[in-house]
Amino acid sequence: MNFFFEVLIGGLLSGVMYALVALGFVMIYKASGVFNFAQGAMVYLAALSVVGCMEKGAPLWLAVILAFAIMTLFGIATEKFVLRKLVNQPPIALFMATIGLAFFIEGLAPMIFGSEPRALDVGIVDEPIEYILENFNMVISRFDLVAALVASVLVATLALFFQYTRIGRALRAVADDHQAALSIGIPLQNIWAIVWGVAGFVALVAGMMWGARNGVQFALTFTALKALPVLILGGFTSVPGAIVGGLIIGASEKLAEIYIPPVMQNLFGGNFGGIEGWFPYVLALLFLLVRPEGLFGEKHIDRV
Amino acid sequence: MIKTCKPVLAAATLAIAMLSQNALAAEEQFFPMTSYRVGPYGANGQSFYGGFIDYLNYVNLTEKGVNGVTLTYEECETEYNNAKGVECYERLKGKAAKSAGPIHTMSTGISYALIDKSAQDKLPLAMMGYGRTDAVDGSVFPYAFPLVTTYQMQASAIVKFIKEKMGGNLAGKKIVYLYHDSAYGKEAIIALEAEASLNKFQLVQIPVAHPGNEQGAQWLKIRQEKPDFVVFWGWGVMNQTALKAAQKVGFPRDKMIGSWWTGSEEDVVPAGESAKGYMAATWNVAGKNVPLIADIEKTVYGAGKGNLSDKAKIGTILYNRGVSAAVLSVEAIRKGQEKYGKGKALNGEQTRWALENLNITEDRLKQIGATDLLPEIKTSCDNHEGSGKVKIQQWDGDKWVPVSGWIEGNKALIHPLFQASAKQYAKEKGITPRDCSKEK
């Protein structure tokens, strides 16, 4: 039973890491109704900017500020050069633009900062907490706990931002209908620039946590793959949904990886491990059949 | 008189110049290079192909090529993508029709995609430490060369090393095999199962789904299993993630031994302190203390002809691997010239023969300043591997340090597995294997 809880807690903490990436998707989707294919690439760019600035001699705090500036400029440039021409176009046009953006970032970022995998030390050692290990014989990572704390603060801040600020309300209005938002005087360009900037900040936090955990390298773009089932489960428009979706996906994939293969092996022989790559997607697909808008997503009703 | 002769002399000079230029052009040994320097694995490619090209330039600078034949190359960017690899091959093969050194793709996927094509086009494919391993049996795969050593022989050598560490007896011990859940990761299973059965140890197989950036469950399982050693077959981000995850569950890194794809600086530096003590197999050593590597830096970079923009990569494991691959390729050209004529470029067919008749001894390695850079190689029709040896190296937090001599895998156990697999392939493809006893 001890092992079960160890796997469960480990999974929940991993889920928080997925939620960090999923939050970036939610930001853009909430404000523009577009699935941002470039979010994984933005995570990579943000983390690479931090290590790139540190290699030029900047201390960590300054590198983070500079990386945030880079991500903000990137957000503004995206609005100006990519999105502005696509106002009121079908969402698929915006989606295609983000695909192009992803490839552009994936090519440009290593050209500027180099493609070598690098370490990112944020000062938190990824080791088990000794007290829990000694008293409960369970491995709980100090780093994962900090990541969970960071994600919680981020979620709370973003939820409050969307719910209670003027900009937050404007963002939601823009997401509903570009043209209607423009007609009542909401400055669409500014709103998009802000939301891409905030998504850049979320990418920076996710990039730093993932980069500190696995190294800063091209594979950070793959973190987006972990976020997709989280979004399907939690809903594309819900900030708390990203967290809850992350926790469910993280815990279920870890439990599945441990407990399903031995059962399958007994039944059919062979090796059935390594299922956590596809298991979350199957779970998300099953969930889609029951609740297509996700746990916390807004139900879309078209009147006939 | 001189006035009338002037145009004639000029024309004659021009003709001689053109002729000699043509003659020079004919004396070029071309290396088609399906390389990668950008994309997810670009950093690996930069070091490897940088080392390879630096050695070609080194031979050109110090010896004016091989017996006067200048070594030339053309790169085509594959981005480690199979489709692009095939496209690059198709683009380069026309130029390689006249003269061709071995093609190094540095990719198992691209190698698999090219294995039949290259045989049809009579262009030799070198797969040093990767690719289709049953191509060791040259009777079925005349144009494919998994040179130096293979995944299976490497796994066998790692088991031999662990056995030594455990006092010469593995009976009752437990080894976890943590692997990338792909063709690459699965290659070594057959060898490890054979070793487990022979040495009576328990083998626990734990796959990791691609890309391997999340291994929490696997390492909790490893913690539960309490193995004596973890043999690790990772790739890309999976390597750093494994080292960090091992630290997270408190598994000692000096009980982890990886394959050579997990043993470069790129694999351990991003993992920081968690990589200290970790071991990996390698078929070439790192460092600039190998005389050849030091001389390349002095000669090639001194002449401003170095291929790397970042000189810090010189002496890294992958740079030295690129040099080692080039040493083997150039030695094959020398061997071929002994048979087909000194000072003449070799075509693909001739290079194939040379690769199949390599005999690089310790003495020869010493002559070229590559003592201990790579093991001795002796190939034949029925042994396209030629060595089967690796060293085990350990990361001390700053550099790779060899902690063993050259260890040969259990050839008697492993090679029959290759032969059986090659035989099956020949049957499926309708290939009549060559009679190796008639090959010279």
C-alpha A67/C-alpha B72 separation (Å) is 43
On whether any CB of chain B is under 8 Å from the CB of A282, the answer is no
Quick one: pLDDT at residue A293? Answer: 82
Residues 57-116 of A with CB under 8 A from B: 107, 110, 114-116
Quick one: pLDDT at residue A180? Answer: 81
Lowest mean pLDDT among A211-220, A266-275, B70-79, B189-198: A266-275
Does the distance separating the beta carbons of A273 and B216 come in below 8 Å? no
Residues of B in contact with A253 (CB under 8 A): 217
Of A249, A216, A214, give the one whose Cα is nearest residue A19. Answer: A249
- Helix ranges, A184-238 (H): 188-214, 223-234
What are the φ and ψ backbone dihedral angles of B202, each rounded to 5 degrees? -90, 130
Classify residue A211 as exposed, middle or buried by CB count within 10 Å of its CB (0-12, 13-18, 19+). buried
> Residue A303: which pLDDT band, with cuts at 50, 70 and 90?
low
Q: What percent of chain A has pLDDT over 70?
A: 98
| B297 has a pLDDT exceeding 90 | yes
Quick one: pLDDT at residue B367? Answer: 97
| B392-431: pLDDT as tens digits | 999 999 999 999 999 999 999 999 999 999 999 999 999 9
CA atoms within 13 A on the CB side of B326: 35
On whether any CB of chain B is under 8 Å from the CB of A262, the answer is no
Quick one: pLDDT at residue A68? Answer: 95
> Residue B23: which pLDDT band, with cuts at 50, 70 and 90?
very low
**Cβ-nearest to A7 among B39, B217, B271:** B217
CA atoms within 13 A on the CB side of A243: 14
Q: What percent of chain B has pLDDT over 90?
A: 85
Residues of A in contact with B248 (CB under 8 A): 126-128, 139, 141, 143
> Residue B8: which pLDDT band, with cuts at 50, 70 and 90?
low
C-alpha A58/C-alpha B253 separation (Å) is 32
What are the φ and ψ backbone dihedral angles of B148, each rounded to 5 degrees? 70, -70
3-state helix, strand, coil in chain B (%, to 5): 50, 15, 35
- Measured in angstroms, the CA of B387 and the nearest CA of chain A are apart by 31
C-alpha B110/C-alpha B90 separation (Å) is 12
| A300 has a pLDDT exceeding 80 | no
**Cβ-nearest to A213 among B224, B244, B249:** B244
Residues of B in contact with A115 (CB under 8 A): 38-39, 42-43, 46
> Residue A225: which pLDDT band, with cuts at 50, 70 and 90?
confident
Helix B189-199 with B151-165: angle, nearest 10 deg: 30
DSSP for residue B269: G
> Residue A224: which pLDDT band, with cuts at 50, 70 and 90?
confident
Of B283, B263, B259, give the one whose Cα is nearest residue B151. Answer: B259
Residues of B in contact with A114 (CB under 8 A): 43
User: Which is it for strands B70-77 and B103-104: parallel, antiparallel or unpaired?
Assistant: unpaired
Of A98, A86, A104, A81, give the one whose Cα is nearest residue A37. Answer: A98
| B22 has a pLDDT exceeding 50 | no
- Measured in angstroms, the CA of B29 and the nearest CA of chain A are apart by 32
Quick one: pLDDT at residue B21? Answer: 47
- Check the CA dihedral B4-B9-B14-B18 and report its sign: positive
CA distances from A203 to A39, A99, A106 (A): 7, 17, 14
- Answer yes or no: are the C-beta atoms of A13 and A21 closer than 8 Å: no
Q: What percent of chain B has pLDDT over 70?
A: 94
| A169-185: pLDDT as tens digits | 888 788 777 778 888 88
ipTM above 0.85, yes or no: yes
| A277 has a pLDDT exceeding 50 | yes
Which positions ≥6 away from B423 have C-beta within 8 Å? B137, B140, B433
Quick one: pLDDT at residue B52? Answer: 98
| A108-158: pLDDT as tens digits | 998 899 888 999 999 888 888 989 988 988 888 889 899 889 988 988 888
Q: Name the residue in chain A with its Cα closest to that of B37.
A: A115
- Check the CA dihedral B241-B247-B251-B255 and report its sign: positive
| B25-59: pLDDT as tens digits | 458 999 999 999 887 788 889 999 999 999 999 99
Helix (H, G, I), strand (E, B) or coil at B353: helix
User: Which is it for strands B125-126 and B144-145: parallel, antiparallel or unpaired?
Assistant: parallel
| B153-171: pLDDT as tens digits | 999 999 999 999 999 999 9
Q: First-to-last CA distance in chain B?
A: 61
Which positions ≥6 away from B157 have C-beta within 8 Å? B149, B281, B388, B389, B390, B407, B408, B409
- Answer yes or no: are the C-beta atoms of B355 and B145 closer than 8 Å: yes
C-alpha B211/C-alpha A45 separation (Å) is 19
Q: Which one-letter amino acid corresponds to residue A245?
A: G
> Residue B210: which pLDDT band, with cuts at 50, 70 and 90?
confident
Residues 158-217 of A with CB under 8 A from B: 210, 213-217
Quick one: pLDDT at residue A304? Answer: 62
> Residue B335: which pLDDT band, with cuts at 50, 70 and 90?
very high
User: By a Cβ cutoff of 8 Å, what residues of chain B touch chain A?
Assistant: 38-43, 46, 181, 205-211, 213-214, 216-218, 220-221, 223-224, 236-237, 240-241, 244, 247-250, 266-267, 269-274
DSSP for residue A124: -
Per-position b or e across A23-52, b if 16+ CB within 10 A of its CB: bbbbbbbbbbbbbbbbbbbbbbbbbbbbbb
Does the distance separating the beta carbons of B266 and A143 come in below 8 Å? no
For all residues of chain A together, what is the average pLDDT? 88
| A47 has a pLDDT exceeding 90 | yes
Q: What is the mean pLDDT of residues A262-271?
A: 84
Q: What percent of chain A has pLDDT over 90?
A: 44
**For testing the chain A interface, which of B179, B220, B223, B225 should be mutated: the one with the most A CBs within 10 Å?**
B220
**Cβ-nearest to A226 among B214, B217, B220:** B214
C-alpha B317/C-alpha B399 separation (Å) is 10
Quick one: pLDDT at residue B16? Answer: 52
B295 CA to centre of own chain:
22
Q: What is the mean pLDDT of residues B140-154?
A: 96
For B161-219, strand residue ranges (E) read 174-180, 202-208
| B24 has a pLDDT exceeding 50 | no
Does the distance separating the beta carbons of B205 and A271 come in below 8 Å? yes
**Cβ-nearest to A126 among B214, B244, B270:** B244
Of A260, A13, A226, give the one whose Cα is nearest residue B248. Answer: A13
Q: Name the residue in chain B with its Cα closest to that of A103.
A: B39
Strand order in the sheet with B144-145: B103-104, B125-126, B144-145
For all residues of chain B together, what is the average pLDDT? 92
Name beta bridge partners: B378. Answer: B359
Helix (H, G, I), strand (E, B) or coil at A300: coil
C-alpha B37/C-alpha A2 separation (Å) is 47
